[in-house]
Amino acid sequence: MDSADIARSLIDSAGGDAERVRETIERIGAEEAAAFLVAELTGRVETGTLPEGVTEVQLVLDGARPVPYVLSIGRRGAGGRPGELADPEVVLSQDVTEVTRSLFGPPGCQDSATRRVRWRDHDDPKVYFAPPPAFPAVERLLAALDGRGAPGLAELALRHGSDKWGIHEYTPHYEHHFARYRDRPVTVVEIGVGGYDDPEAGGGSLRMWKRYFRRGLVHGVDITDKSSHTEPRVTTSVADQSDLASLAALADRIGPIDIVIDDGSHVSAHVVTAFSTLFPRLRPGGLYVVEDLQTSYWPSFSGSYAEDADTSMGFLKRLVDGLNHAEYPAKAGRPPRPTDHEVGGLHFYHNLAFVEKRANSGHGGISRLREAG
C-alpha cells in the first residue's frame, strides 16, 4: 500500500467502529499503520510556545501487537522513532484503534477511555512550583490527540509560508467557506504549489491545507516537479493548467474532488481551461476557488478592463447569468451552458471567487411574464 492508500483506508475506517479500524490496521500492517499515525500525531503537536529543552515520551500503541515509539517534543517541533527508552520519564499508552479514531474520525469520535499516562516518581516537591518541561510537552501531545487547539488558517499560512494571509487577505474567506468541510474526509486539489521553477521551494499552502483538513487528502499540481513536498496525506503532480489533456489525466488518477483551488498561472485562458476541466470532476456540494483575479484586468497577463471581456472575471461574471438562466425568454437566444444547471452559488471577494457546485433548478414560475414584451 502506498502512503495515499494508507491515509484513505485509515481515514475511511475511522468513521466506523473500532472493529473496522482494527481490521484496516491488520490489512495495512501494525508497524506501517503506527508509523503513519505517529507522523500525523507529532505533526499536529503545537510546540511553538514550549519551554526550551526536548522531552522524550515513551508511546505505546496498544493492539494485537503493541508498537512502542519514542516521541521527541521540543519548541522546534516533534517527531518519533520506533523503539523503547531504558528509563522513560513518562509512558503514554493507548489502544491504536482509539488513537486512529481520535485523529481521523468525525467529530465526536475522540476518546481517551484506554489511555494511560504513567509518570516516573517525582519525589522532589519542587515539581509543584517549577513544573519540568515534560509537563507542558505531554499536555500539547494530549491536546493533539484529542483535537484541541488546532490553529486557524491565517496562523497556518504565516507558519508555513503561504501568501494567503498578509500579501492577500484570503484566509478569513477560506475559513468562512471551508468551515463545513474541515472535519470531512475531503479531497483537495490546489493548482500552484509555489516556488515556481525551484523544485525545492513552495509547498506552504499544501502543508496549511493538510493541517486544516485533519481528514483530508491534499494534491498539489504544478508545472514544475514539486515531488520534494510529498508527505503523508500530501501528493504532488506535474501538469500544465493550460493543457486540458494533462489536467484530465490527473483528475482521472485522483478521482472525485471536493475542493479545487486555482492559484497557478493566473492567466485568464488557463483559469478557464482548468475550470472547464476540473469543475465537472467536483462532487456535488464541492467548491471551486479562483485566486488572484486582479490579473484578469492586467494587460501583462492578457487581461482586459472591458466589462464583458473574454477573461477569467468575464467568464465568472457570465456564470452569474447562468444562475438565472431559467429566467431568459427563448427569444433572447441565450446559448445553454453545461454550468447552468450545476453552479448553485457564487461568492466574490477582492481578487477571489468561490463557485459552489450544487443543483440549480429554480425558475421564476410565470412563463407568460417571462416571454412577454
Ligand X SMILES: C[S@@+](CC[C@H](N)C(=O)[O-])C[C@H]1O[C@@H](n2cnc3c(N)ncnc32)[C@H](O)[C@@H]1O
CB-wise, 38 or 157, nearer to ligand X?
157
Query: What is d(CA 128, CA 30) in angstroms, rounded to the nearest whole number?
Result: 39
Pick the binder of ligand X from 95, 240, 262, 356 (CB under 6 A).
240
Interface size with ligand X, residues (CB under 6 A): 24
Q: How far is CA 238 from CA 4, 249, 252, 264, in A?
A: 17, 11, 14, 12
Query: What is d(CA 261, CA 207) in angstroms, rounded to the nearest whole number?
Result: 14
266 carries an active-site annotation? yes
Q: Decide: 257 and 187 in contact? Cβ < 8 Å.
A: yes
Catalytic residue among 266, 270, 325, 363: 266
Pick the binder of ligand X from 13, 24, 94, 162 (CB under 6 A).
162
Pick the binder of ligand X from 264, 286, 303, 322 (CB under 6 A).
264
Closest approach of Cβ 100 to ligand X, in Å?
A: 30
Residue range at the interface with ligand X (CB under 6 A); choices 61-69, 128-136, 178-186, 197-205: 197-205
Query: What is d(CA 220, CA 181) in angstroms, rounded to the nearest whole number?
Result: 18
User: What's the distance, Cα to Cα, between the start and end of the chain in Å?
Assistant: 65
CB-wise, 224 or 230, nearer to ligand X?
224
Nearest C-alpha neighbor of 265 from the set 221, 202, 318, 313: 221
Locate 308 and state its grid cell.
Answer: 464583458
Pick the binder of ligand X from 105, 194, 216, 286 (CB under 6 A).
194
Query: What is d(CA 229, CA 335) in angstroms, rounded to the nearest whole number?
Result: 43
Closest approach of Cβ 281 to ligand X, in Å?
A: 16
Query: What is d(CA 187, CA 345) in angstroms, rounded to the nearest whole number?
Result: 20
Q: Decide: 334 and 328 in contact? Cβ < 8 Å.
A: yes
Pick the binder of ligand X from 80, 105, 195, 286 (CB under 6 A).
195
Closest approach of Cβ 351 to ligand X, in Å?
A: 12
Show the binding pattern over residues 200-239: x = contacts ligand X (CB under 6 A), - = does not: --x-xx---------------xxxx---------------
Locate 365 and state its grid cell.
Answer: 414560475
Pick the binder of ligand X from 17, 116, 196, 324 (CB under 6 A).
196
Site residues (vs ligand X, CB under 6 A): 162-164, 190-196, 202, 204-205, 221-224, 240-242, 263-265, 270
- Active-site residues, by number, are 266
